[in-house]
Chain A
Amino acid sequence: MSALTASPPQAASVPAPTRARARRRLHIPLLLAPFALLFVIAFVAPLVYGLVLSLFRERFTGLGWNGSHLAFAGFHDYARALQDSRFLDGLGRVLLYAVIDVPLMLAVSLVLALLLDSALTTARRFFQALLLLPHFVPGLIAALIWVYLYTPGLSPLTSWLGDIGLHVNFFSSGSVLGSIVNISLWQWIGYNSVLLYVALQSVSPSVLEAARLDGAGEIRTALSIKVPHIRPALVVSGLFTIIGSLQLFTEPKILQGSAGSTVTASWTPNLLAFSEAFNSNDYSYAAAVSLLLAAVAGVLSLLAMKLVGRVDRSSQEADS
């Protein structure tokens, strides 16, 4: 019942159901049913099934002639994952990737959004369309194209960089993570900066005018009015970037072709789950790795939201 009291105000004008209408409330489950069905199949069932698979093991009785039965194996697979250096290294790698990728992504997107929004930039629509282009290139295709660009024979990129004194091998163990960060930046900077730019459009013009009259310059206005105003959009961008970082799979999978010795079959947790399931046929371990990754992503997202919420509150207190 507490859910009723927590309902947002926009529903307040809906009249309370009369007894006659209460009998005809079948439309609510009917309207919810299609999505509920899809949600159960795509989210709830695999989570539950994965959990069951990871907690139970097939046990063969006797010599195995009498068939098998499922026996509770406890958290054996989870304990194993938490001691498996392949899983821990992979997790460390995607976390490092997130630590590099998320701040870079947000900073560059924010700068581009502010530039687009400032009175200086002309041809905004053209520029937005241009920046959004990579968003419509499937992730796998983007990875393929960039791997071609990274390959010395196929593109002049490495020799250009060599000409200005940067001798990079994009596939070496030291730079492969950076090569992947670059692919992700290329794909998502435009999307994120347009998202932030659109959010900036809701800053009230009178507030900006007041700031200008008070003598605030373009940069000061950006830092003290625009950035705080679009904090929710920044949180959304950051959240999706974090979730995306942990799922790293496609780009390393493609890079395996060119940097096979560096990008191993267990280079990220998703690659590990994939190879455990389809190369080793160890389904219960694959399920455990997948669920652990989902749990880490969920906890990190929640932490990010909480953290931003606290910063929000303390800055409001400082304002008052």
Chain B
Amino acid sequence: MEVAFLIEKTVLVLVLFTLTLSIAAYSTWLERKVAAWLQDRVGPNRAGIFGLLQPLADGGKMFFKEEIIPSGANKWLFIAGPSLALLVSFLGSAVLPFGQNIELFGRSIPLQVTDINVGILYIFGVVSLGVYGIMIGGWASNNKYSLMGAIRGASQNISYEIAMGLSIIALLLVTNSLSFKVIAEQQHGWHWNILVQPLGFLIFLICSFAETNRVPFDLPECETELIGGYQTEYSGFKMGAYMFSEYINMFVSSAVMAVLYFGGYNYPGMDTVNELLGPTWGPLIGVVVMFAKIIAFIFFFMWVRWTVPRFRYDQLMDLGWKVLIPLAIANIVITAIVITIVDKL
């Protein structure tokens, strides 16, 4: 029993790790393809069919490039920055449910590494740690542009964390639980949380753009003002680690949005499908649905990147503090009032 449990979790972790890495790698390919599509170009098409081997070629290039550590830089922290960014970005997927319990070899296996009962807060903590990679890397580079980028990253993350937390509180009023498993199961069929929390979802979506440092909120690396922001001095694989952590963050936050607001692995008519296909293949369809939602969100991230121009820094702060936070508070109050009225009826 114990051994089977250990094997099951180890396999799950390994599969999730590989999947995260490959999705992040192919996000770079997808990003270039989407950009090309939106700008009426062809995009990468030389490495393999449809340019599918492009991520491998890019990875090889990153590995074999010369690693430069600037002479004025703090050597240890300069290496620690990207390592920390990459490490922290992987942590989030540990609490996410990717499907219903699946029956394999006569055992019912949950498709979730661990179901802690403070799952949402855990994700929140991991997200708030993400900024250390940027700050340490930017400071250690000993370059004023890097430092500016690091400082922008820190203040941006802290500002948008507040609105994000407030939008989650409204969701918690509806779900009454902090566990991702419970929240996913409540949205069985078509009872997705987006139907009851549309404003909360909008705020959460905007904040997750800011937390992953994606356009239109990529002020920490803003190349028109800061050369490359916190990654100005980075080259080779350390630069690649920063880029990779951004794509992994995108994957994790897409998965979080899919589970919290878009029903995760639930889809209308899932009961019929489960009856027809049995307890092994039925949940597998749910996993496919979950990943379809995640990829749809990743596509949305890219769509926005090639459509919306970057904010100015004061606009970013105004949006965070003067628009999103009051909206999120109003959302909490409205949700609380509606829940009280519905309970009384």
- Is B one of A's binding partners? no
